[in-house]
Chain A
Amino acid sequence: MSDTLLKVRDLKIGATIYPPGERPRDIEIVHGVSFDLAPGKVLGLIGESGAGKSTIGLASMAYGRGGVKITGGEVWVNGRDILKGGHKDIRKLRGAEVTYVSQSAAASFNPAKKIMDQVVEAAVEQKKFSRKDAEARARVLFAKLGLPDPDNIGERYPHQVSGGQLQRCMTALALCPEPDLVVFDEPTTALDVTTQIDVLMAIKEAIRDTGVAALYITHDLAVVAQVSDDIMVLRMGNTVEYGNVDQIINNPQEEYTKALVSVRSIEHEEKAPTEEPVLSVRNITARYKGTQFDVLHNVNVDLYPGQTLAVVGESGSGKSTLARVITGLLPPREGEIEFAGRTLSPDLKGRTREDLRELQMIYQMADVAMNPRQTVGTIIGRPLEFYFGMRGAEKKKRIIELLDEIELGEKFMDRYPAELSGGQKQRVCIARSLAAKPKMIICDEVTSALDPLVADGILKLLLDLQKIEDVAYLFITHDLATVRAISDNIAVMYQGKVQRYGGKSKVLSPPFDDYTDLLLSSVPEMKLGWLEEVIAHRKMESAGN
């Protein structure tokens, strides 16, 4: 084996795009990237969406997703330029020398086949192991990755195990054929933060124990700092900075890298509750139709005018259900919602137009929350017509005002959602909800689908708008950094209950309850060795108990 396992030289990758109303044309999305990876080492590829990091990862398996084509350069694996090989050579490489772990294991496992069949398939097909040996190896890997009941979990179907377990099964799938290189493509991004830390540790130990090399792709610098030896920062298909992990994290040279390292720099002073709350959630217990158990248990929270209440929790904690109850989409079994001094009808049908106007909502997926066939002007103008009966010049003037408030400006009026970036779309959604002049906006994971720097911009905008419009936010999120950045009050939710509730400084200061402690300590920090520290700390604590 040579000194470098993977050698990439001047890699260029192109794609064909189909702009609406124009001829399809070829564009270049990766512009000559070079790097080396030695056996057993981990290289982190980091960047925002569109940086080309996944595309580069897949290129090391000579694979182009969709219409993506490798147009130039060299990719050497184990001393062979894989781009010069034919179909057969490439098939021998995939699943044998290089394997892949995708972001969503839930989507990447075939729902119709048992986990074991899928985990051993590549190893058997590539004649690395007999079926029997491959299964034995898979069971060893299941145990190593900390999966429960490693001897039998392979007999299950993908839907029968949890998301975090499935992500570990995917790692076992990638490691089973004893590859030289594993491409990890955002393997923990879709997981809850408390699950992420375990999977991250399992992956790190598996890499160390098997001596496999890895390309670790993520947008989260704090995560990549825990597992990598080297880091390459990418932006729009170019290398921004490439160096060892210590240098990138502690001594970044480029402006862009510095911005990534210092992201989430928003400071927001906690405001004390003064007036009567604008929203009072009183003893809410709720369940979904046709189910037998409550998803919310006796929830009580208050939101004060012009302030932000962050509702934080992991998937399944009931935070989005709370939003459905407040908006009237899910009438509660018990309890009531007081809003602006009146008791709201539990059912959406019983609410007045004024109720609807004063309580607006912004969603996670901005692009599906807008009609793709309407211009930005029409989208923002609709609530102006509907609630205030505005027409013509008056409406146009207000639309332009709103566009200025969200820092886009008049020129965006005639554009369609498809012509906007993710952050711009979310801004339009914000303007649409502000157009109704609401007392309160429910923000449901509004920054979760955005890149960190873009999300930062959206949060800053929301805080500025809060000062101008004096609107209250109920901010639903799973991201504790976001919570720190914008909230005045915090409600930590766990299994349908409010676990901890109060002012930001109080909620985020010790002494903690067990769950909040687990949640807070699981958020990756931009610090080398953080992962080991946390795991060691937890082991010590559990030994102490």
Chain B
Amino acid sequence: MSPIVKLLAQRIALSLLLLLLISVVIFAGTIVLPGDVAQSILGQSATPEALANLRAELGVNDPPVQRYFAWLFGAMQGDLGTALTSGQDIAQALSSRFWNTLFLAFWAAVVAVPLAIFLGLLAVRFKDRWPDKMISAVTLASISIPEFLIGYVLMYFIAVKLRWFPSVAMVNDSMGLFDKLNAIALPIAVLTLVVLAHMMRMTRAAILNVMQSAYIETAELKGLNAFQVIYRHAFPNAIAPIVNVVMLNLAYLVVGVVVIEVVFVYPGMGQYLVDHVSKRDVPVVQACGLIFAAVYIGLNMIADIVAILSNPRLRHPK
């Protein structure tokens, strides 16, 4: 087996192992949480007998190990159980919300990733001159302000004052793509501002690091102009760190949009999770946790795979 296949196989196996461990942690974490789902369904006036009956019916009295494996095998077959509070099938309820979250994250990434890399390249090209400093200052400022504040400020000026885009990002299946994009324009803008700085600064640092190399001098001495030097010779060698930070931010876009979804009343997974945490609906919390973990691990795995593949020494062994 060639070394690169072995490395990739190891990396994927590691991801799966990690996901399994996380599933244990999520499951264990949710059963030690305080609170009683039966109590929250039946309310404060429920009799002890009614509570006991409901608990037996919901299966919360079974041994934890047995419940874990039942849950795990179910999850592996796409069955995430039923929500305790509403009796709904979780997988079904989640799927449309999951796609909504991915939809928002995807379009935020489409705007933010190329913009961040372009700004990073621009900052390298004009290193220590005013464009570099301005890009750094603006992106740092935007990352330093809490995202809900940016959200409300944009909402006030762009949605309320200028009336360019709606303030509430309601989407449903009957809307066309353009209508949907129009609806989520503001959340996309906020998310872009939040993740831009991190990616842009990492791009800048990674490329500047490569720019110290002797082969950059060789490229300059070939008479190439500054942009040719950067994108032909520096960028290919900076891909691994850049992809790493991009993936980390994509994961954040999927997992960390809870606040933005709540601010803009967007029907995504984050809002669904928040609703059910407050209702002590353990299976929903477990399912959301597992999906978030899978997305996070998956994206980071992709980053590592790209890093392995972008290394010419591994791709073309001697």
Contacts and interface: CB of A to CB of B under 8 A. Distances in A.
Interface of A: 61, 63, 65, 90-96, 99-100, 102, 104, 107-113, 118, 121-122, 125-126, 156-157, 159-160, 173
A113 B236 contact: yes
Instruction: Enumerate the 9 nearest inter-chain pairs by beta-carbon distance, A residue then B residue, closest first.
Output: A95-B222, A95-B223, A122-B222, A107-B214, A94-B223, A112-B236, A91-B223, A110-B215, A100-B221
Interface in B211-262: 213-215, 217-225, 228, 233, 236-237
Interface stretch (B19-27, B31-39, B310-318): B310-318
Nearest to B218: A108
A207 to B, nearest CB: 19
A122 B213 CA distance: 18
B214 A104 contact: yes
Which of B214, B221, B233, B316 lies at the interface centre, i.e. has the most chain A CB atoms within 10 A of its CB? B221
Contact of B215 (A92, A109, A122): A109
B208 to A, nearest CB: 14
B222 A94 contact: yes
11 contacts: A91-B223, A94-B220, A99-B221, A100-B221, A107-B214, A108-B215, A121-B219, A157-B312, A159-B312, A159-B313, A159-B316
A113 B316 CA distance: 11
Nearest to B215: A110
B215 A126 contact: no
A91 to B, nearest CB: 4
B236 to A, nearest CB: 4
Contact of A93 (B223, B225, B233): B223
A92 B313 CA distance: 33
A171 B233 CA distance: 19
B312 A126 contact: no
Given A90-B223, A121-B219, A160-B318, 11 more contacts: A65-B217, A91-B224, A94-B222, A99-B222, A110-B218, A110-B219, A112-B237, A113-B236, A126-B222, A156-B316, A159-B313
Contacts of A108: 214-215, 217-218
User: Does more than half of chain B's interface fall in helix, strand or loop, or is it mixed?
Assistant: helix
Contact of A111 (B220, B224, B237): B237
Contact of A110 (B220, B233, B316, B318): B233
Interface of B: 213-215, 217-225, 228, 233, 236-237, 310, 312-313, 316, 318
Nearest to A122: B222
A78 to B, nearest CB: 15
Contacts of B318: 159-160
A318 B182 CA distance: 68
Contacts of A107: 213-215
Nearest to B221: A100
Contacts of A90: 223
B281 to A, nearest CB: 50
Nearest to B235: A112
A126 B219 CA distance: 13
Contacts of A112: 236-237, 310, 312
A96 B223 CA distance: 8
Contacts of B312: 111-112, 157, 159
Contacts of B233: 110, 113
A109 B218 contact: yes
A445 to B, nearest CB: 22
A100 B218 contact: yes
Nearest to B233: A110
Given A112-B236, A113-B236, A159-B318, A91 B218 contact: no
A110 B223 contact: no
Identify which of B213, B223, B224, B228 gathers the most chain A CB atoms within 10 Å of its CB.
B223
A126 B213 contact: no
Contacts of A126: 222-223
Contacts of B224: 91, 95, 121-122, 125
Contact of A160 (B214, B217, B316): B316
Contacts of A92: 223
A111 B313 contact: yes
Contact of A91 (B225, B236, B237, B310): B225
A100 B223 CA distance: 11
A108 B215 CA distance: 4
Contacts of A113: 233, 236
A300 to B, nearest CB: 32
A157 B316 contact: yes
A318 to B, nearest CB: 20
Contact of B221 (A63, A156, A159): A63
A202 B175 CA distance: 71
Contacts of B218: 100, 102, 108-110, 118, 173
A281 B225 CA distance: 57
Nearest to A160: B318
A27 B30 CA distance: 67
